[in-house]
Amino acid sequence: MSLQHDHTGFANRTATAPAGRRISANLFLANLSDADFALLSPHFERVSIAVGDVIMPAGGRIEHLTFLDSGIAALLDTIEGERLHAVGLIGNEGYLGWPVLLGDDRSPYATILRAEAGTALRIPVERVVAAAEQSDTLRRALLRFIEVFMIQMGRTVVSALGHSVERRLARWILLYHDRVRGDEITMTHEEFRIMLGVRRSSITDALHRLEEQHAIRSVRGRVIVREREKLLALAADTYGSAEAAYERLVRTLGN
């Protein structure tokens, strides 16, 4: 059986912005109106980010909004000063630094690049704030993405309280699969443990069960998605609400 198949995750979508605006593979930027994009574009700086780089430390001042072209940012909270737990993921579907749009100049979470190296466009916070004050449609677009991410975080909390490790792991693999190019996810058992906040042995057992159902293949440091439909069935309603909100709120921005 071939392990390769098409999926409709964010990273595999083609930005539909006009040719003159294709400076980025970021879908949020591609969905902005021409006028709103023009308010931001003169102030972008392109940066490269390596796996494991801390994009923003917890409690650090937010100086830029960062729009990923590739790579996945994990937002991590800390319990008891050292135990990390993931609250959500952001890839090229959105942007990092969203608390400044809510009036906070500090990051509540540590933001670390996962899975694959990335490139991004970043822009000073003051430029974004000024542009959002100038354009109601831009401000609304930025706030809409925050709403989508809040839905993702809420589902993370509910799932952690009420679902099995196997179901939660299926959801996290789908979240990563949405944001990588292709079917291979570079993630260790330890990183998945952080995502779910469980013992490493629980991750190993859950991965074995997903393999038995032919949903994935797990090799050292990697997970390969074999049957996305099986992952969707296993994840059930832990996955899909934030993704539907993205289609409704963000994919229609330029319309």
Residues 142 and 213 in one domain: no
The pLDDT assigned to 225 comes to 93
The pLDDT assigned to 91 comes to 94
Residues 99 and 192 in one domain: no
The pLDDT assigned to 21 comes to 52
Distance in angstroms (rounded) separating the CA atoms of residues 33 and 53? 32
Question: pLDDT for 191-232, tens place per residue?
Answer: 888 777 788 888 888 899 999 999 999 888 889 999 999 999
Q: Which helix (H) or strand (E) holds 248?
A: helix 241-249
The pLDDT assigned to 5 comes to 44
Burial of 142 (C-beta count, 10 Å sphere; 0-12/13-18/19+): buried
**Tens-digit pLDDT string for the chain (255 aa):** 333 344 556 655 555 555 445 567 899 999 999 999 999 999 999 999 999 899 999 889 999 999 999 999 999 987 765 557 888 999 999 999 999 999 999 999 999 998 788 889 999 999 999 999 999 999 999 999 999 999 999 988 888 787 888 899 999 999 999 998 888 888 888 888 877 778 888 888 889 999 999 999 988 888 999 999 999 999 988 899 999 999 999 987 755
Distance in angstroms (rounded) separating the CA atoms of residues 123 and 128? 7
Torsion 189-190-195-200 (CA) sign: positive
Residues 59 and 170 in one domain: no
Residues 37 and 114 in one domain: yes
Q: Which domain holds residue 183?
A: 164-238
Distance in angstroms (rounded) separating the CA atoms of residues 81 and 105? 22
Tokens 């542009």, residue? 131
Inter-helix orientation angle 136-162/241-249, to 10°? 170
The pLDDT assigned to 46 comes to 94
Residue 229's CATH number: 1.10.10.10
Residue 97's CATH number: 2.60.120.10
Residue 66, CA distances (Å) to 70, 91, 93, 133, 175 in order = 11, 10, 12, 19, 19
How many other CB atoms sit within 10 Å of the CB of residue 77?
15
How many other CB atoms sit within 10 Å of the CB of residue 23?
15
The pLDDT assigned to 2 comes to 34
Residue 46, CA distances (Å) to 11, 30, 142, 155, 186 in order = 18, 16, 20, 32, 24
Count of structural domains, the chain? 2
Residues 78 and 155 in one domain: yes
- Asked, for residue 55, whether it belongs to a domain, the answer is yes
Report CA 86 to chain centroid distance, whole Å: 11
165 sits in the region (left: phi over 0; alpha: psi -120 to 50; else beta) called alpha
Residues 78 and 199 in one domain: no
- Asked, for residue 254, whether it belongs to a domain, the answer is no
Residues 115 and 194 in one domain: no
